[in-house]
Amino acid sequence: MEFREATAADTEAIRSMAEESVTASYTSFLSEETIEDALAQWYSDEATTDLVESDDTIVLIAENDQPAGFSQSEVVGDGETIGHLHWLHVRPDERGAGLGSRLLTRTREALLDAGAERIRGFVLEGNDDGTRFYEEHGFERAGTRSIQIGADTYTENVYMESDDADAEWRAIEERQLEDGTTVFVSYGEADRGSEAPFYSAYESRDETDRFGWFCGNCETLDNAMDAMGRIECNVCGNKRKATRWDASYL
């Protein structure tokens, strides 16, 4: 899976992913007309082009042969510098394998690199899966705000990244290695790398015995750790480097 910033060439793919994601996530509590209004408001041709071309917005694409999801975020200064994660869209047929967690991890990294101190996420009230996603990833509800869709006003829940550094992410993906070995990659346990995060890999789903480190850049476990705890991928050269926010993943 490759993660990269969106370009003008991704405009149609972004609109397609947003339509699939919103339709799958919101039909249980929003009318078809409201969903159409939302897509027209946020992801029309003009709005999507402006989104990709904006210097203030970070649009990150997750791509596996074809675009599978994207996030939309920005850095806002309101007393402290906060990263606002407005949308995290994953195609319905790509859900359930940890992609949302990986996209959140990479988006968080991009926001912190852009100067954010903490991350704030937003999810429409009634989206139980979205609420559960934030809570499982160490976010706490911090209030609500109003959002306009068409002619109507809706409530959006606001989630703030928890100060609890021990909050665990529970996104586990089972992966088969070339030699037939099965490992379980925890996308909630990440150490930042020069090209992409390294994720903890375990011998079993209960995460009791560590197998090694999974490189998020080239998706291999062929790496080495020295006595100082530095990790380097033998395939792509991705290197673990210490940062001020590594502790939040441990």
Distance CA 37, CA 35 (A): 5
Q: What beta strand segments (E) does 32-181 contain?
A: 57-64, 66-78, 80-90, 118-124, 139-149, 152-161, 172-176
pLDDT of residue 191: 80
Give per-residue pLDDT as tens, 147-202: 998 888 999 999 998 765 445 555 677 888 888 889 998 877 778 788 888 888 99
% of the chain surpassing 70 pLDDT = 92
**Residue 171 phi, psi dihedral angles, 5° rounding:** -105, 105
What's the pTM value of the predicted model, to 2 decimals? 0.76
- Domains delineated in the chain: 2-161 (3.40.630.30), 172-249 (no CATH)
Instruction: Name the residue type at position 62.
Output: A
Segment (H or E) for 162: none
- Which residues, 6+ apart, have CB-to-CB distance to 163 below 8 Å? none
Give per-residue pLDDT as tens, 39-86: 999 999 999 999 999 988 999 999 988 999 999 999 998 667 889 999
pLDDT of residue 78: 63
